[in-house]
Structure 1
Amino acid sequence: MRTLVLNAGYEPLAIVSFKRALVLVMNDKATVIEHVEGEPVWGTRSSYDRPAVIILTRYVRVPSTRRTPVTRRGVLRRDGFRCGYCGASATTIDHVLPRSRGGADSWENLVACCLTCNNVKSDRTPQEMGWSLRFALGAPRGGSWAVRGSERGDPRWEPYLALAA
C-alpha cells in the first residue's frame, strides 16, 4: 500500500510506502487527510488511520528546475499509447528527426509510434515521407507527471493531483 505525500501548500511531493507515511504521522511531521476506511493500524498506545493521503506540517522547498526525465514509457503514456502518425495502437517510440541526423532523445523529438509506421519511416523525417504529426510534441505537465508512480495511483489521490495540473 502506498501513500501520497503533499507539501504544506497542498502540492504533491512524492509517493511513499504506507510504513514511511505512518512514521511521518506518528512523529507529528504530517497529518492524515485521506484514510482507508475500516483498516486502522494498532500501536502500543493508540490506533491510527491507515493513511492514503498525508500533508506535511512544515513546508519543504522543492527546486524549481525539477524536470520530468524522458523515458520510453513516459513518451507512450504522454501520447496515450497511440501512434503519432496514423493513430493506431503504439508499441514503440520514434525519433521525429532521426538520431542518424543528429536528433536528440528529448520530449520534443520523440513520439509514440506503431511498428508499421516506425519500419516504413526508417531514417527519414515525416516531411520527407509526406506525413504530419497528429499532435504537438512537448514535455508533459501536471501533478501526475511531477510525482513518480502516480499513474497507478489510488482514486483518492486524483483531487490532489488535479490541483497541481
Structure 2
Amino acid sequence: MIQSVRVLVLNQTYEPINVCGARRAVRMMLLGKAETIEEDGFMVRSERLEFRLPAVIRLLRYVKIPRKAEVPFSKKNVFRRDEHACQYCGSGDHLTLDHILPLSKGGRTNWENVVCCCRRCNARKGNRLPGEAGLRLRRPARKPHYYPFEWMNPRQTVSPHMRWEKYLDPYSAS
C-alpha cells in the first residue's frame, strides 16, 4: 500500500520540484533531509514508530534547479511538451509522433516540426500538410522551456490530494 502513495516534494522555498513515493519521502524525513508540511490520512506503524504518511514534504536545504538547461529532443520529451495528447484532436490514446511538414517534403526532425499525434489522425494526415488533410494544430509546436515540475509524468502530477493544490496553483503551466 505504501508503494502507491505519492508525495509532493517542495524545495526549501516551497516551490514544487518533484513527486516521489511515500517510502522515499519517509526515508528523507528520517534522515533529517525533509519535514512534513501536510499529512496524508494513512497511518504507518512499526515497533518503535507511529506516524501519518506525508502528503507534502519540504526539503530542509535548498536544491538549485537549473533553469537554463536545454531540453534534449526525444520522443518522451515531445510527449511531455504536448501533455500526452494528440495535437490535432486531443485524444490520449495510441499516441505516436507526427512530422507537421513530412520528411519527404523537406521537413526536419526537430521541436518545431514534430508533435504528439494519435494513430487515427496520423493515418488521416498521411504524407500531407495538416491543412491539406483537414487537420489543425491545437497549438504551435515550439521548443520547450525547461521547468522541472512541469516535466514530470502527467499521471504523477495529477493531484491525488486536495492539499497539493495550494502548492501547485502558483506554478501551473497556463
Task: Provide the TM-score with structure 2 as the length reference.
Answer: 0.69
Per the alignment, do residues 26 and 125 of structure 1 end up closer, same or farther by CA in structure 2, a change over 3 Å counting?
same
Question: Does residue 42 in structure 1 map to residue 41 in structure 2?
Answer: no
Percentage identity across paired residues of the two chains: 32
Match of 2:66 in 1: 63
Matches within 5 A, 1:74-153: 75=79, 78=82, 81-84=85-88, 87=89, 89=91, 91-92=94-95, 93-100=97-104, 101-106=106-111, 108-126=112-130, 132-138=136-142, 139=144, 145-148=150-153, 150-153=156-159
Deviates further, 9-18 or 112-121 = 112-121
Report the Cα offset of residue 10 of structure 1.
1.4
Per the alignment, do residues 140 and 70 of structure 1 end up closer, same or farther by CA in structure 2, a change over 3 Å counting?
farther
Letter in 1 for 2:167: Y
CA RMSD after TM alignment: 3.4
Mapped partners of 1:135, 1:128: distance in 2: 17
User: What secondary structure is seen at the aligned counterpart in 2 of 1:67?
Assistant: coil
Match of 1:162 in 2: 169
Q: Which runs of 5+ in 1 are unaligned?
A: none
Letter in 1 for 2:171: A
Report the Cα offset of residue 70 of structure 1.
4.3
User: What secondary structure is seen at the aligned counterpart in 1 of 2:56?
Assistant: strand
Q: Is the 8 A contact 1:96 1:111 kept in 2?
A: yes
Q: Is the 8 A contact 2:9 2:58 kept in 1?
A: yes
Q: Number of paired residues?
A: 161
Mapped partners of 1:154, 1:69: distance in 2: 30
Letter in 2 for 1:50: L
Match of 2:16 in 1: 12
Task: Provide the TM-score with structure 1 as the length reference.
Answer: 0.72
Letter in 2 for 1:150: Q
Report the Cα offset of residue 109 of structure 1.
2.2
Per the alignment, do residues 89 and 161 of structure 1 end up closer, same or farther by CA in structure 2, a change over 3 Å counting?
same
Deviates further, 130-139 or 54-63 = 130-139
Mapped partners of 2:76, 2:126: distance in 1: 18
Deviates further, 90-99 or 25-34 = 90-99
Mapped partners of 1:98, 1:89: distance in 2: 21
Per the alignment, do residues 20 and 134 of structure 1 end up closer, same or farther by CA in structure 2, a change over 3 Å counting?
closer
Report the Cα offset of residue 7 of structure 1.
0.6
Mapped partners of 1:14, 1:114: distance in 2: 28
Per the alignment, do residues 82 and 76 of structure 1 end up closer, same or farther by CA in structure 2, a change over 3 Å counting?
farther
